[in-house]
Amino acid sequence: MQTEPIRNKRHIRDMAAYYVKKGMLRNHLLIVFGVYTGLRIGDMLRLTRGDVYDFGSGRFRTHLRITEKKTGKQKSVALNKKVISALALTFGKDRGHPADFLFQAQRKTRAAIGRTQAWRIVKEAARAVGVAGCIGCHSLRKTFGYHAWKAGVAAVLLMDIYNHSSFEITRRYLGISQDDRDKVYLELALM
């Protein structure tokens, strides 16, 4: 079964807040980072603190520059205020070391969490706040596109952001439902 975007914004907020309440700030960051950057989980798990924080200037970076593992393409992702706030909350006063993974398993091992652990984090938060459907790590990426599209971002721009080779792939990511189609028919006002 294919993962779905998280369509309800309250669910997204509740999923992120779930981990703040539990004091699990890395997990909170995973949710926030995923829904606001639209990156694949494999690319997220490779990120280091140095990728998002300039240790020389003592500031969070405005853009994340990565080479996507799947496509080999370079990408620049603007980090918005929500992501910067989640990073600041997670880092606290201890900025760590530039080589520390952003989603580190344990400080002692200096290894990133694995894809399975990331899936568990997303799944647990979704279950805890009552999100129905097939939700996993890829749901975060799809959620980014779905809500951008609902806010009026052109599908062709999302196709470019996602580095998709066809619009059909982007269309599937957007999770366009019958309710979305019905809304077009019922709310179009031409006269």
**Residue environment code for 39-62, b if the CB has 16+ CB neighbours within 10 A, otherwise e:** bbbebbbbbbbbebbeeeeeebbe
**Is there a catalytic annotation at residue 11?**
no
**Is there a catalytic annotation at residue 141?**
yes
**Is there a catalytic annotation at residue 61?**
no
Domains along the chain?
9-187 (1.10.443.10)
pLDDT band at 153 (very low <50, low <70, confident <90, very high): very high
Per-residue model confidence as pLDDT tens digits over 111-147: 999 999 999 999 999 999 999 999 999 999 999 999 9
Q: CA separation (Å) from 174 to 64, 138, 153?
A: 23, 12, 11
Does the pLDDT value for residue 36 go beyond 90?
yes
Q: Which of 46, 95, 164, 171 is catalytic?
A: 164
Q: Which of 7, 138, 142, 147 is catalytic?
A: 138
**Residue environment code for 93-102, b if the CB has 16+ CB neighbours within 10 A, otherwise e:** eeebeeebbb
**Is there a catalytic annotation at residue 97?**
no
Q: Which of 141, 142, 146, 162 is catalytic?
A: 141
**Is there a catalytic annotation at residue 40?**
yes
Indicate the pTM of the whole model.
Answer: 0.90
**Is there a catalytic annotation at residue 70?**
yes
